[in-house]
Amino acid sequence: MLLRKSIAIDMDQVLADLLQSELDIFNKRYNKQITKQDLTGKVLEDDYPELANEIYEFMNTYEFFRDLPVIEHSQEVIKELQEHYDIYIATAAMFAPNSMIAKYEWLQEHFPFLHPHHFVFCGDKGAVHADYLIDDSLNQLESFQGQGIMFSAPHNEYENYGVKVTDWLAVRDYFMEKLTTKS
């Protein structure tokens, strides 16, 4: 029997569409029409550094993180991957401590087939032990000790990384192919 490999999966911008909710609130509050496309290769705070604190304040709440939309195909693909891999959720919740309970409840609502004992709320992902990490953050991927997989997001559009995937169907292909080539 082959030993099951483990996959750690980031939440924000990988499972949860944080950017869309961030823009919805920002545009309404400051009467703007910023789109995701406008943020190619950067984050909102790069264009509005004077509002960085206010952006952090409206995001670091239970309400903000509790209602984020689920990123397309993540549920079905993770459910399928779970048959062959140990799945962990690894999210940098310590950057926004008020998000913790919301993230826990959100995972239970949208990914009820995952066990909470496999949730890891951390800061630096160098402290996460898994064979793979799927993440949109280059810093976190570089800190992680295993094989990283960069999940595309507007902010990382111009970043090169060994393994980069555009969506969850590509994640599925990457991992299912590994199973086939092994047997």
Residue 98 contacts by C-beta under 8 Å, 6 or more apart in sequence? Answer: 60, 61, 62, 65
Residue 172: closest CA among 19, 13, 10, 7: 7
- 73 — phi, psi (to 5°)? 70, -5
To its own copies, the closest distance from the beta carbon of 102 in angstroms equals 11
Restricted to residues 95-124, the positions that interact with its own copies (CB under 8 A) are: 95, 97-98, 100-101, 104, 115-124
Restricted to residues 41-100, the positions that interact with its own copies (CB under 8 A) are: 88, 90, 92-95, 97-98, 100
| Secondary structure letter of residue 4 according to DSSP | P
Concerning whether 46 is annotated as a catalytic residue, the answer is no
The pair of structure tokens assigned to 170 is 């590509």
Closest to its own copies by CB, 127 or 169: 127
Concerning whether 12 is annotated as a catalytic residue, the answer is yes
Binding status of residue 6 toward its own copies by CB under 8 A: yes
Show which residues are catalytic.
Answer: 10, 12
